[in-house]
Amino acid sequence: MPFCQSLRVPCETKFFLLHSDAWAARLMKLIILDRDGVINEDSDAYIKSPDEWKPLSGSLEAIARLNRAGYRVVVATNQSGIGRGLLNLETLNRIHSKMQRMVQEAGGLIDAVFFCPDTDEANPYRKPHPGMLLEIGRRLHCDLRGVPVVGDSVRDIRAARAANAWPLLVRTGKGRRTLEQETEISAHVLVFDNLAAVASYLIKPAMAT
């Protein structure tokens, strides 16, 4: 049975919204970020506690810069550690509360965190399937065409393409491994050193106009 933890709005799907505004009435620029390997250090043993969640250098400031340039920042993350019994929803909530607090201390805001806790690769909401991204678009009443989706893995690229969004790859996290092992699928994807470089690329054209 699908479930959702929410601070503000009733939910019917398998996601957690950390913070939500009345987006439907707003025109917005949206960017969707993977979490592990993009915002924070990744771990093959999973991030299982707030103490293990450590931001990558410059990532929090990058989110703040994106906010100042008019971007709404949403996180979309597979969190199969829950399905594997490595952590529970309460712990994940505390991890995301720490992430939000640190982003706010850097001057930014993450508007929502969507996650899929399942281990089943057939789950349509688990990346590389596009269900999680499509749900973000549905909730925000936003066309995902041209919306940047920043990830570090082939799952992120495939999910973004399947949702008709714009995949961007960072070298942090699993990014370098992805470039080495998934040369065909990553061949036509813009690649950046980190989230800070993504922010600079997206903001620069707007600043020049």
From the candidates 21, 34, 111, 118, give the one annotated as an active-site residue.
34
Per-residue model confidence as pLDDT tens digits over 18-59? 444 443 434 569 999 999 999 999 999 999 999 999 999 999
Are 79 and 117 a contacting pair, CB within 8 Å? yes
Task: State the residue for tokens 């992120």.
Answer: 156
What is the domain extent for residue 49? 4-208
CATH number at residue 127: 3.40.50.1000
42 is catalytic: no
Q: Distance (Å, rounded) from C-alpha 33 to C-alpha 127?
A: 13
Among 118, 121, 135, which residue's Cα sits nearest to residue 11?
A: 135
For the question of residue 36 being annotated catalytic, the response is yes
Q: Tell me the Cα Rg of the chain.
A: 16
35 and 63 in contact (C-beta within 8 Å)?
Answer: no
For the segment 52-98, what is each residue's pLDDT rounded down to a tens digit? 999 999 999 999 999 999 999 999 999 999 999 999 999 999 999 99
pLDDT at 37: 98
C-alpha angle with apex 138: 134 to 143, nearest 5 degrees?
75
The per-residue pLDDT for 204 is: 81
pLDDT for 27:
52
Counting the structural domains of the chain, the total is 1
- Catalytic one among 36, 42, 152, 156? 36
